[in-house]
Structure 1
Amino acid sequence: MSKRIRFRNLAEAERLAKRRLPRAVWLAVKAGNEQGWTLDENIQAFNELGFSPTVFDRPTRIDTKTSLLGLDIDFPVVISPVGAQAIHPDGEVGVARAAARAGTAVGLSSWASDPVQDVARANDKTIFQLYWVGTKAEIEARVEAARAAGAKALIVTLDWSHTPRRDWGVPPAPPSDMKLRTMTELAPEALSRPLWFGSYLRRGRIPDLKVPNLFELDGSTPYFGAAWSRFEETPAPTWDDVKWLRELWGGPFMVKGINTIKDAKLCVDLGADAIGVSNHGGNNIDGSPSPLRYLPSIVDAVGDQVEVTLDGGIRRGSDVVKALALGARAVFVGRAFLYGLAVNGEDGVHEVLQILRSGIRETMFGIGRSSIGELSREDLMVLNPHFFVPPAS
Structure 2
Amino acid sequence: MIRFRNLAEAERVAKRRLPRAIWLAVKAGNEQGWTLDENVRAFSELGFSPTVFDRPTNFDLSARVLGIDVEFPVLVSPVGAQAIHPDGEVGVARAAARAGTAIGLSSWSSDSVADVARANDSTIFQLYWVGSRPEIEARVEAARAAGAKALIVTLDWSFTPRRDWGVPPAPPSDRSISTLARLAPHALSRPGWLMGYLRRGRIPELRVPNLVTLDGRVPYFGKAWADFEATPPPTWDDVKWLRDLWGGPFMVKGISTVRDAKLCVDLGADAISLSNHGGNNIDGTPSPLRQLPYLVDAVGDQVDVMVDGGIRRGSDVVKAVALGAKAVFIGRAFLYGLAAGGEEGVYQVLQVLRNGIRETMYGIGRGSLSELSRDDLLLLNPHFFVPPTR
TM-score normalised according to structure 2 size: 0.98
Q: Is the contact made by 1:177 and 1:208 (CA closer than 8 Å) also made in structure 2?
A: no
Show the counterpart of 1:151. Answer: 148
Matched residue, 1:129: 126
Determine the structure 1 residue equivalent to 2:195. 198
Q: 2:28 aligns with which of 15, 31, 51?
A: 31
State the SS of the aligned residue for 2:69: strand
Gaps of 5+ in 1: none
1:311 is matched with 308
**Hey, what's the Cα distance between the residues in 1 that align with 2:108 and 2:191?**
26
Deviations for 1:234-263, whole angstroms, at most 9, x for unmatched residues?
Answer: 000000000000000000000000000000
Aligned to 1:183: 180
How do 1:372-391 residues align onto structure 2 when only pairs under 5 Å count?
Answer: 372-388=369-385
Q: Is the 8 A contact 1:31 1:170 kept in 2?
A: no
Specify the code of the residue in structure 2 equivalent to 1:210.
Answer: R
Give the distance between the partners of 1:81 and 1:320, measured in 2 at CA. Answer: 18
- The SS at the match of 1:203 is coil
Kindly indicate whether the alpha-carbon contact (under 8 Å) linking 1:165 and 1:172 is maintained by their aligned counterparts in 2.
no
Look up the equivalent residue of 2:109 and give its one-letter code. A
Contact 2:291/2:386 (CA < 8 Å) preserved in 1?
no
Report the equivalent of 1:241: 238
Distance 1:172 1:293, change over 3 A: farther
1:328 maps onto 2:329 in alignment? no
Take 2:77 and 2:15, find their aligned partners in 1: how far apart are those partners?
20
1:284 corresponds to which of 277, 281, 284: 281
User: Which residue of 1 is the match for residue 138 of structure 2?
Assistant: 141
Secondary structure at 1:107 match in 2: strand
Q: Select 1:9's aligned residue among 1, 6, 10.
A: 6
Q: Does 1:21 align with 2:21?
A: no
In structure 2, the CA distance between the partners of 1:172 and 1:372, relative to structure 1 (3 Å rule), is farther
Q: CA deviation at 1:172?
A: 6.7
- Percent identity of equivalent pairs: 79
* Superposed counterparts of 1:104-115, under 5 Å: 104-115=101-112
The gaps in structure 2 that reach 5 residues or longer are none
My pick for the range that moved more, 117-126 or 161-170, is 161-170
**What is the CA RMSD across the aligned residues, in angstroms?**
1.0
Are the aligned partners of 1:110 and 1:130 in contact in 2 as well (CA < 8 Å)?
yes
1 CA distance for matches of 2:385 and 2:337? 33
Instruction: Name the structure 2 match of 1:65.
Output: 62
Q: Determine if contact 2:76/2:102 at 8 Å carries over to the other structure.
A: yes
| 1:370 equivalent in alignment to 2:367 | yes
> Quick check: 243-252 or 188-197, which moved more?
188-197
CA deviations on 1:81-113 (whole Å, 9 max, x unpaired) are 000000000000000000000000000000000
> Is the Cα contact below 8 Å between 2:21 and 2:169 reproduced in 1?
no
TM-score w.r.t. structure 1 length? 0.97
Matches of 1:77 and 1:290 in 2, distance apart? 18
Deviates more, 1:171-180 or 1:321-330: 171-180
**After the TM superposition, which segments of 4 or more aligned residues of structure 1 sit over 4 Å from their partners?**
none
